[in-house]
């Protein structure tokens, strides 16, 4: 083999290496960018946030109002069970409880569900808040997640358990 | 150009095609798996089980309080527990609503089983999965004066076409006895007094002021190895408890015989202890209840100075 022939072999090996590298890059990038997990678990993740967040750590316009109201003391429970606490108050006819419940639900949905998604939060059979309801019927993709919520009224009485259902659509 | 010099390119193209074929197929398969409704269902039910376990702990607490209240009513109507111990009675009352063959009446809709039945109905209705539970046994014990430790052995079964779970676990809770009615005071004098802890001042030395507060509040203080425990009171066992002794003081207005010879702590009255008036027990000058007396040991323990010890109540 002469010097010119060796040169072609080197160029050939370089091109071959580039082909392999580009192929691997395409495969790994493809896996990461197109899994769709974020969409798939949108409802699950949002409801997990509501379930796992201590109510004292959550801030929103309605929460700031609630902190100043002695009728809705903040315990050590989750944001989800705090919703059950206000839901209990609304079932007892406490003035403004239903409005506070809907406003807090709206704050939560705005915080945890992407703005371009529609969403609905229900406790038992009560709809707490719905965002972009007009898009629900035409949506092709619809995700849902549910958890249990309850509120300890006193030593021996519990409000609930209620199934909290979060539905998300786009 | 040397024709053999394209061999690496050809080989790499073949390898790239192979990789795309193998991993491209795997990728498509993974995408479908991610949308697998069955896998999502299993995940949702897994979250539900976590919620159920949290709810079990809450209902065990409410069930414990309901059972202690029912046991207190049982002692009020039937007398101190016998032959069952408080621990045995707790389990029988919790699981079977009876103690030694006599009904142990819970307040309506307060038992753990009531709340668990609601959970079962709710779960079965909202998820379509079949939830069942069995409470095998419940134990109660005390290690601290104002707390009881309860452990329930429970089997949970959740059946669904996607997956099934069956597991048996011990669920422990610690419940404060504060707010519970003192069963002995209820039984002996018909007085319903909720237990509230009087904490010692910084440094742990009790004062006359705190005695006055305890009397006014009807609160209880920790007295290890000198007073009976909360659970012991159910069985009329007023022997000192090393771990869990508590005591309260009683007003002289209660129907107590031979008042000048008595020291007005609850367990000393229950055990019918008598003292020599003006020698072993004294009233306290200026105390709100002029006939209230305490023995020397208690007067000292409350920091009542001897100059306030009075024999004015002695016959």
Single out the residue in B175, B195, B220 at which a domain terminates: B175
Q: Is residue B19 predicted with pLDDT exceeding 90? A: no
> In this predicted structure, which of A30-34, A61-65, B248-252 has the lowest mean pLDDT?
A30-34
A85 touching B (Cβ < 8 Å): no
Quick one: pLDDT at residue B7? 83
Nearest residue of A to residue B46 by CA position? A147
Q: For residues A20 and A23, what is the distance between their CA atoms, to the nearest angstrom?
A: 5
Q: For residues B241 and B229, what is the distance between their CA atoms, to the nearest angstrom?
A: 6
Nearest residue of B to residue A22 by CA position? B16
Strand partners, B284: B309
pLDDT tens-digit readout, B79-104: 999 999 999 999 999 999 999 999 99
A92 touching B (Cβ < 8 Å): no
Q: Are residues B15 and B103 in the same domain?
A: yes
Q: Give this prediction's pTM.
A: 0.82
- In terms of average pLDDT, the best of A8-17, A147-156, B216-225 is B216-225
Nearest residue of B to residue A161 by CA position? B119
Q: Give residue A38's pLDDT band: very low, low, confident or very high (50, 70, 90).
A: low
Asked if B6's CB is within 8 angstroms of A27's CB, the reply is no
> In this predicted structure, which of A4-13, A84-93, B137-146 has the lowest mean pLDDT?
A4-13
Q: Are residues B128 and B208 in the same domain?
A: no
Q: Which of B10, B33, B58, B124 to mutate to test the interface with A (most CBs of A within 10 A)?
A: B58
Asked if B62's CB is within 8 angstroms of A152's CB, the reply is yes
Q: Give residue A127's pLDDT band: very low, low, confident or very high (50, 70, 90).
A: very high
Chain B CB contacts of A15 below 8 Å: 8-9, 12
Burial tier of B185 (Cβ tally within 10 Å: 0-12, 13-18, 19+): buried
If residue A118 lies in a helix (H) or strand (E), which one and from where to where?
strand A118-123
Asked if B69's CB is within 8 angstroms of A30's CB, the reply is no
Quick one: pLDDT at residue B24? 67
If residue A130 lies in a helix (H) or strand (E), which one and from where to where?
strand A126-131
Concatenating the DSSP letter of every residue in B167-221 gives EEEEEEEEEE-TTSB-HHHHHHH----B--B-PPPTTS---HHHHHHHHHHT-BE
Q: Are residues B124 and B97 in the same domain?
A: yes
Residue B108 to chain A, least CA–CA distance (Å): 10
Average confidence (pLDDT) over B114-136: 93
Angle at which helices B7-34 and A3-33 pack, to 10 degrees?
Answer: 10
Chain B CB contacts of A8 below 8 Å: 1-2, 5
Q: Are residues B49 and B154 in the same domain?
A: yes
Q: Are residues B118 and B235 in the same domain?
A: no
Q: Give residue B195's pLDDT band: very low, low, confident or very high (50, 70, 90).
A: very high
Q: Are residues B154 and B283 in the same domain?
A: no
Q: Are residues B115 and B222 in the same domain?
A: no
Report the mean per-residue pLDDT for chain B.
Answer: 92
Burial tier of B258 (Cβ tally within 10 Å: 0-12, 13-18, 19+): exposed
Q: Are residues B152 and B232 in the same domain?
A: no
Q: Is residue B70 predicted with pLDDT exceeding 60? A: yes
How many domains in chain B?
A: 2
Nearest residue of A to residue B64 by CA position? A156
Strand partners, B150: B140, B173
Q: Give residue A151's pLDDT band: very low, low, confident or very high (50, 70, 90).
A: very high
Asked if A158's CB is within 8 angstroms of B115's CB, the reply is yes
Q: Are residues B161 and B219 in the same domain?
A: no
Beta carbon pairs, A and B, within 8 Å: 112
Quick one: pLDDT at residue A1? 53
Quick one: pLDDT at residue B33? 53
Single out the residue in B150, B175, B200 at which a domain terminates: B175
Asked if B119's CB is within 8 angstroms of A44's CB, the reply is no
Q: Are residues B155 and B196 in the same domain?
A: no
Burial tier of B167 (Cβ tally within 10 Å: 0-12, 13-18, 19+): exposed
Q: For residues B193 and A114, what is the distance between their CA atoms, to the nearest angstrom?
A: 54
Scanning B31-50 for CB atoms below 8 A from A yields 31, 34-35, 40, 43-44, 47-48
Q: Are residues B149 and B229 in the same domain?
A: no
Chain A CB contacts of B47 below 8 Å: 44, 48, 145, 147
> In this predicted structure, which of A67-71, B106-110, B162-166, B179-183 has the lowest mean pLDDT?
A67-71
B276 touching A (Cβ < 8 Å): no
Nearest residue of B to residue A37 by CA position? B34
In percent, the amount of chain B with pLDDT more than 70 equals 95
Average confidence (pLDDT) over A17-42: 70
Burial tier of A116 (Cβ tally within 10 Å: 0-12, 13-18, 19+): exposed
Q: Give residue B139's pLDDT band: very low, low, confident or very high (50, 70, 90).
A: very high
> Who wins on pLDDT, B288 or B36?
B288
Single out the residue in B123, B157, B175 at which a domain terminates: B175
Quick one: pLDDT at residue A32? 46
Q: Is residue A35 predicted with pLDDT exceeding 60? A: no
> In this predicted structure, which of A37-41, A89-93, B58-62, B86-90 has the lowest mean pLDDT?
A37-41
Q: What phi, psi does A159 have (nearest 5°)?
A: -90, 115
Quick one: pLDDT at residue B3? 62
Quick one: pLDDT at residue A33? 41
Structural domain containing residue B88: 3-175
ipTM of the complex: 0.76
Structure tokens at B75: 């002692």
Burial letters for A118-150: b for 16+ Cβ neighbours within 10 Å, e otherwise?
bbbbbbbeeebbbbbeeeeeeeeeebbbbbbbb
Nearest residue of B to residue A35 by CA position? B31
In percent, the amount of chain A with pLDDT more than 90 equals 47
Q: Are residues B124 and B195 in the same domain?
A: no
Scanning A148-167 for CB atoms below 8 A from B yields 148, 150, 152, 155-158, 160-163, 165
- Smallest Cβ–Cβ distance between A40 and the set B7, B35, B69 belongs to B35
Chain A CB contacts of B175 below 8 Å: none
Average confidence (pLDDT) over A106-122: 92
Asked if B48's CB is within 8 angstroms of A16's CB, the reply is no
Q: Is the peptide bond before B244 cis (omega within 30 degrees of 0)?
A: no
Asked if A147's CB is within 8 angstroms of B47's CB, the reply is yes
pLDDT tens-digit readout, B262-289: 999 999 999 999 999 999 999 999 999 9
């Amino acid at each position: 083999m002469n010097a010119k022939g060796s040169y072609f072999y080197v160029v050939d090996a370089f091109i071959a290496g580039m082909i392999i590298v580009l192929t691997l890059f395409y495969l790994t990038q493809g896996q990461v960018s197109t899994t769709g997990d974020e969409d798939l678990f949108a409802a699950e993740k949002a409801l997990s946030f509501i379930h796992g967040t201590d109510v004292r750590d959550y801030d929103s316009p309605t929460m700031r109002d609630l902190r100043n109201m002695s009728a809705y003391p903040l315990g050590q429970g989750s944001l989800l069970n705090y919703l059950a606490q206000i839901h209990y108050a609304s079932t007892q006819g406490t003035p403004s409880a239903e409005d506070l419940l809907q406003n807090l639900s709206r704050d939560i949905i705005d915080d945890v569900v992407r703005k371009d998604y529609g969403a609905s939060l229900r406790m038992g059979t009560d709809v707490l808040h719905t965002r972009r309801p007009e898009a629900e019927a035409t949506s092709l993709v619809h995700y849902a997640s549910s958890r249990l919520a309850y509120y300890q009224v006193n030593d021996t009485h519990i409000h609930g358990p209620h199934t909290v259902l979060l539905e998300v659509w786009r | 150009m040397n024709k053999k010099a394209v061999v690496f390119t050809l080989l790499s193209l073949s390898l790239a095609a192979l990789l795309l074929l193998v991993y491209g197929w795997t990728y498509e398969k993974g995408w479908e798996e991610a949308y697998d409704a069955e896998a999502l269902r299993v995940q949702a039910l897994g979250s539900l089980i976590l919620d159920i376990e949290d709810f079990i702990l809450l209902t065990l607490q409410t069930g414990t309080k309901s059972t202690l209240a029912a046991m207190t009513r049982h002692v009020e109507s039937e007398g101190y527990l016998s032959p069952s111990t408080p621990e045995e009675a707790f389990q029988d009352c919790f699981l079977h609503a009876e103690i030694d063959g006599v009904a142990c009446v819970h307040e309506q809709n307060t038992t753990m089983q009531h709340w668990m039945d609601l959970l079962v109905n709710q779960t079965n209705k909202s998820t379509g999965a079949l939830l069942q539970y069995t409470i095998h046994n419940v134990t109660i014990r005390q290690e601290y004066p104002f707390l009881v430790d309860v452990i329930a052995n429970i089997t949970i079964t959740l059946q669904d076409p996607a997956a099934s779970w069956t597991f048996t676990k011990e669920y422990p809770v610690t419940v404060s006895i504060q707010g519970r009615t003192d069963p002995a005071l209820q039984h002996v004098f018909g007085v319903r007094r909720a237990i509230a802890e009087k904490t010692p001042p910084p440094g742990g030395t009790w004062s006359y002021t705190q005695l006055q507060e305890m009397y006014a509040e009807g609160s209880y203080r920790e007295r290890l190895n000198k007073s009976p425990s909360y659970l012991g009171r159910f069985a009329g066992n007023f022997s000192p408890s090393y771990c869990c002794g508590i005591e309260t003081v009683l007003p002289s207005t209660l129907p107590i015989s031979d008042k000048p010879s008595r020291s007005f702590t609850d367990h000393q009255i229950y055990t019918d202890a008598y003292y020599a008036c003006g020698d072993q027990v004294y009233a306290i000058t200026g105390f709100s209840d002029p006939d209230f007396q305490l023995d020397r040991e208690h007067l000292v323990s409350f920091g009542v100075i001897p100059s306030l010890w009075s024999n004015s109540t002695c016959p």
